[in-house]
Structure 1
Amino acid sequence: MKILHVVTLHTPDHAFGGPTRVAFNLSRVQRAAGDDARVMALGDGFPGGELPGQVEGVPVHLFQARHLLPMFEVSGITSAALLNTARRMMRGADLVHVHLMRDLVTLPAALLALATRTPLVVQTHGMIDPTEKKVAQLTDLLGVRKVLREADAVLHLTEMERVDVNAVAAPVPLTRTVRLVNGVRPQERKPAREPGRPPTVLYLARIQKRKRPEDFVAAMPHVLVRHPDARFVLAGPDTGALAGTLALARKLGVADSLDHVGPLEHDEVLAADRAADVYVLPAIEEPFPVSVLEAMSVGTPVVITRTCGQAPDVAGAGSGRVIDSRVGEDAANARKVADAILELLEPEAAEQAGKAAWELVNEQFTIEAVTATLRRTYEDVVRRRRG
């Protein structure tokens, strides 16, 4: 099967995060199974403007991002060459899989798929929900509703996301929705922390306000009281919150215990997860982060908030700690993060949660299981089109 994945942006530091990572993960497994899966996206930030033709073994069709509407950041970039090539490639594709957001890349690509009558699967990654923003409402009116209503399948991560996309598509109910979680490759489980080794606590995600890296740093003084030799690692591309986060560390007097390592390649991500004793993501309203699954895949317990997509799974399996976190309650949030970290640094709790994390990923969130579900969805879409 010839499959064209369309996602908004790929950069050397992986600043766009989840949707691009999912597109590459799915494409790799699909190609290993014999499909001709490819990824099309904008490229930006590459040295000398040299855009790669392959990423992680997956053929990519990248086009230099044009910042048409800079005030809208990633939603305001586009490329006429990408859209022209997409139209041509769709005519030879069996199916187009668009990782949809309100932007000038994936939304026009989805509309092109409808116009060329190419079977269309849409995955929204928690990015399409009801909003009071006038520009977003206009975008919904001009194209998003049409795409959601006419796509052959709409993929959602959680029940909340299914409700949200239906609200955007209203009053027409969506009847072809499919739950598809994110998945990762199974990994060997790491050994327990050796007695006497200083603990390591990891934040690995985009450093942006919504993911609340400040809560990670604000938890440090409480943890350092019990573990004065603990190391805290802040990893990931800066998307606006790094300066404030580092300033907070200096203000709290914990900068010497914090290692800022910047963005990491995929192999480096897994190495950082293995080196960590606890992974922390205090984000508010996080759909279903791959970074949480990657940490658990090697047996590292996690601390996440109740609004994270994996919260019910983590709580049910005991693979970490799920905390309440509220905007405007910084001191209380930091204390909750710290208490959860301290619990998971206890040897018995660490062993139990680490084992549960590794088993949870292997039982429910392998990329092979995810792509098997997706393959059945693709086949159903193509069969219905032929019928």
Structure 2
Amino acid sequence: MKILHIVTLHTPDHAFGGPTRVALNLSKVQRAGGDDARIMALGDGFEGPLPDEVEGVPVHLFRARHLLPMFEVSGITSGALLRTARRMMRGADLVHVHLMRDLVTLPAALLALASGTPLVVQTHGMVDPTEKRVAQLTDLLGVRKVLRGADAVLHLTEAERIDVNAVAAPVALTRTVRLVNGVRPQEFKPAREQGRPPTVLFLARIQERKRPQDFVAAMPTVLAEHPDARFVLAGPDTGALPGTLGLARGLGVLDALDHVGPLGHEEVLAAGREADVYVLPSIEEPLGVSVLEAMSVGTPAVITRTCGLGPDVARAGAGRVIDSRVGEDEDNARKVARAVLELLEPEANARAGRAAWELVNEHFTIGVVTDTLRRTYEDVVRRRAGRRLNRPVAPVT
């Protein structure tokens, strides 16, 4: 099967995060299974020529044109990308669009509808009801048409299914499929060497919504009981790094914080193996790949109740799930610190780490995900073929 994944952006430091990582993970497994899966996206931040391959996956990257800078990622586009997408769709069996309210994936999805190419849309928690006028206008001009016309709409959680239906209203979507994020299975990491200082990891985009400040604000309480503990702040900065480092400086804990910047995929897994606890106090995190990657090596996670993985982590005992609210910084920090301290206890850490590893291997491996996706693709193509066969033939006059 020829599959064209279309995602908004790829950068050298993976600053765009989730959707691009998901597209890469899916494409790698699909190609290993014999499919011709490739990715089309904008490329930004590269010195010299844009790559034509990422992690073994063929990519068609086009220089990002910052048409509407005030809208950041949503305001970048490329006429050449859209022209090439239209041409490549004619030879594809299916187009898989990782949809945002932007000037890349939305017009690409509209092109797929216009060309009659089977279309699967995956929204990654990024299309939900909103009071923002520009987003409402975007929904009116194209998002509703894409959601209603797609052959399948993939959602991470039940909450996301409800959200996309609210955007598509009053038409009820009948072809929705739950597709979780998945990661490659990993070996369970070795136990921490006796005497080695504990390590606590934050690994995500360093932005306000991910709440790195709650991670840093929890440090003094943890250090009071584990004065040799190390805290690792990893990931590309998308605006919150100066304030986060300033907070650490003001709390007097900067010496215990290692800011390591963006990491490659193998470095991400290595950081997870080195960590004793992974922390992501994010507000409204759909279903974080970085959480899954940490748990895949046996590192328990501290996440919030608004994270899509919250119910799974709580049910499995794979870490701690806390309440976190905007504007309650001190209370948030106390909850993060308490959860980290609980998971630094050796027996609790061992139990939660094993539960995290088993949770990923039973429900969130990329193989489980791509099996579900393969069935969805086949159903889409079969339904399309059935409609063509049943189309009435005009009489000859």
TM-score scaled by structure 1? 0.99
- Alignment match, 1:337: 336
Deviating 4+ runs (over 4 angstroms): none
After TM superposition, give the deviation of residue 195 of structure 1 in Å: 2.2
**Larger Cα-atom Rg:** 2
- Alignment match, 2:161: 162
1:31 pairs with 2:13: no
1:360 pairs with 2:359: yes
**Whole-angstrom distance in 1 between the partners of 2:328 and 2:247:** 16
Deviation sequence 1:194-221 (CA, Å, 0-9, x none): 2221000000000000000000000000
Q: How many residues align?
A: 386
SS in 1 for 2:231: strand
Amino acid in structure 1 at the alignment position of 2:30:
Q
SS in 1 for 2:378: helix
What is the 5 A alignment of 1:36-55?
A: 36-48=36-48, 50-55=49-54
**Whole-angstrom distance in 1 between the partners of 2:36 and 2:199:** 41
After TM superposition, give the deviation of residue 192 of structure 1 in Å: 1.6
**Whole-angstrom distance in 2 between the partners of 1:113 and 1:245:** 42
- Alignment match, 2:21: 21
Amino acid in structure 1 at the alignment position of 2:293:
E
SS in 1 for 2:131: coil
- Alignment match, 2:231: 232
- Alignment match, 2:66: 67
Deviation sequence 1:64-90 (CA, Å, 0-9, x none): 000000000000000000000000000
After TM superposition, give the deviation of residue 47 of structure 1 in Å: 1.3
Amino acid in structure 2 at the alignment position of 1:384:
R
- Alignment match, 1:3: 3
SS in 2 for 1:128: coil
SS in 2 for 1:47: coil
Deviation sequence 1:89-128 (CA, Å, 0-9, x none): 0000000000000000000000000000000000000000
- Alignment match, 1:101: 100
**Whole-angstrom distance in 2 between the partners of 1:70 and 1:351:** 47
What is the 5 A alignment of 1:206-217?
A: 206-217=205-216
Amino acid in structure 2 at the alignment position of 1:374:
L
Amino acid in structure 1 at the alignment position of 2:6:
V
**Whole-angstrom distance in 2 between the partners of 1:101 and 1:359:** 32
User: What residue ranges of structure 2 are gaps of 5+ in the alignment?
Assistant: 387-397
What is the 5 A alignment of 1:109-120?
A: 109-120=108-119
1:323 pairs with 2:322: yes
- Alignment match, 2:282: 283
After TM superposition, give the deviation of residue 52 of structure 1 in Å: 0.1
Amino acid in structure 1 at the alignment position of 2:267:
E
User: What residue ranges of structure 1 are gaps of 5+ in the alignment?
Assistant: none
**Whole-angstrom distance in 2 between the partners of 1:56 and 1:197:** 33
RMSD: 0.4
SS in 2 for 1:61: strand
After TM superposition, give the deviation of residue 288 of structure 1 in Å: 0.3
- Alignment match, 1:306: 305
Amino acid in structure 2 at the alignment position of 1:4:
L
SS in 1 for 2:201: strand
SS in 2 for 1:178: strand
Deviation sequence 1:358-381 (CA, Å, 0-9, x none): 000000000001000000000000
- Alignment match, 1:175: 174
SS in 1 for 2:315: helix
TM-score scaled by structure 2? 0.97
- Alignment match, 1:383: 382
**Whole-angstrom distance in 2 between the partners of 1:293 and 1:242:** 23
**Whole-angstrom distance in 2 between the partners of 1:327 and 1:81:** 41
Percent of aligned pairs with the same residue?
85
**Bigger mean CA deviation after superposition, 287-296 or 186-195:** 186-195
**Whole-angstrom distance in 2 between the partners of 1:192 and 1:339:** 22
Amino acid in structure 2 at the alignment position of 1:308:
C
What is the 5 A alignment of 1:189-204?
A: 189-204=188-203
**Whole-angstrom distance in 2 between the partners of 1:98 and 1:231:** 40
**Whole-angstrom distance in 2 between the partners of 1:60 and 1:196:** 45
After TM superposition, give the deviation of residue 162 of structure 1 in Å: 0.1
**Whole-angstrom distance in 1 between the partners of 2:324 and 2:193:** 32
1:246 pairs with 2:245: yes
**Whole-angstrom distance in 2 between the partners of 1:326 and 1:96:** 38
